[in-house]
């Protein structure tokens, strides 16, 4: 029996859905790298024209942000992995200790989903015969034993996405002449944010204009705030 053809815009394949989730996380990580690094370098540029100072702040923001993102993702995904493993072991133990009760539970779950009792019994029996543990994990808990997330992969992907995003404002602030340094950076950052906002909306199936405006406005406010603060500190002689 061949698999059904997916309708346009529908991800019937579990691997495809997983890849889309990773891509969406990558876009969000790059967006964080753009905004946070740009805000720091623009703020420093408002207070000082020193290229070494701006470069040091930008590189520190890139490295610190990437490490922070990786650590946060590692801790979060490790907790998720531990929870998934615990649920899998619990389900395996229940199947070993009382398979009859577990089969009845599976039947009832399919009945709750709208199947007649006789149909639910046939489905549960066939799925149990094929792979009882997988049947319970997917039907009862909505997880797949083969899809347990890797905290190391998540940490690396998060750090890489953040770093890619952070490089853009860092180059934009360092390469242009001093007279146009800040305007060029602001323009480059807002264009990049518009692209990441639109990309994230397309991946998630949301409104592209709304997402783009939301990200661009938020980024513009962050840049304006840090530049004003940096300028005030610079003119006041604090820095």
Three-class DSSP labels, 17-83: HHHHHHHHHHHHHHHHHHHHHHHHHHHHHHHCCCHHHHHHHHHHHHHHHHHHHHHHHHHHHHHHHHH
pLDDT digits (tens, 9 = 90+) for 182-212: 999 999 999 999 998 888 888 777 888 998 9
Is pLDDT at 22 greater than 70 in this prediction?
A: no
pTM of the model: 0.73
Average pLDDT of span 66-88: 88
Q: Kindly list the domain boundaries of the chain, sorted by start residue.
A: 17-234
pLDDT of residue 1: 43
Mean pLDDT, the chain, rounded, equals 84
Q: Kindly indicate the confidence band of residue 127, based on its pLDDT and cuts at 50, 70 and 90.
A: confident
More confident residue, 107 or 8: 107
More confident residue, 104 or 7: 104
More confident residue, 141 or 131: 131
Is pLDDT at 18 greater than 60 in this prediction?
A: no
Average pLDDT of span 207-227: 91
Cα 100 from Cα 81, distance rounded (Å): 29
CB atoms within 10 A of CB 200: 22
Residues 48 and 239: beta-carbon distance below 8 Å: yes
pLDDT of residue 134: 86
Residues 6+ apart with CB under 8 A from 143: 84, 87, 88, 137
Residues 104 and 134: beta-carbon distance below 8 Å: no
Is pLDDT at 114 greater than 70 in this prediction?
A: yes
Is pLDDT at 2 greater than 60 in this prediction?
A: no
């Amino acid at each position: 029996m061949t698999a059904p053809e997916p309708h346009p815009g529908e991800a019937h394949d579990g691997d495809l859905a997983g890849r889309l989730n990773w891509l969406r996380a990558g876009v969000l990580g790059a967006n964080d790298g753009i905004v946070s690094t740009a805000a720091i370098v623009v703020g420093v540029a408002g207070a000082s024209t020193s290229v070494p100072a701006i470069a040091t702040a930008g590189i520190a923001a890139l490295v610190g942000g990437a490490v922070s993102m990786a650590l946060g993702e590692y801790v979060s995904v490790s907790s998720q992995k531990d929870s998934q493993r615990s649920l899998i072991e619990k389900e395996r133990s229940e199947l070993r200790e009382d398979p009859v009760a577990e089969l009845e539970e599976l039947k009832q779950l399919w009945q709750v989903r709208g199947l007649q009792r006789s149909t639910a019994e046939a489905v549960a029996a066939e799925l149990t015969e094929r792979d009882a543990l997988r049947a319970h994990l997917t039907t009862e808990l909505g997880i797949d034993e083969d899809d347990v997330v890797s905290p190391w992969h998540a940490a690396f992907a998060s750090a890489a996405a953040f770093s890619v995003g952070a490089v853009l404002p860092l180059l934009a602030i360092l390469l242009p002449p001093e007279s146009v340094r800040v305007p060029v950076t602001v323009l480059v950052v807002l264009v990049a944010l518009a692209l990441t906002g639109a990309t994230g909306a397309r991946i998630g199936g949301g409104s592209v204009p709304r997402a783009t405006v939301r990200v661009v406005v938020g980024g513009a406010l962050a840049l304006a705030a840090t530049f004003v603060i940096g300028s005030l500190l610079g003119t006041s002689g604090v820095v």
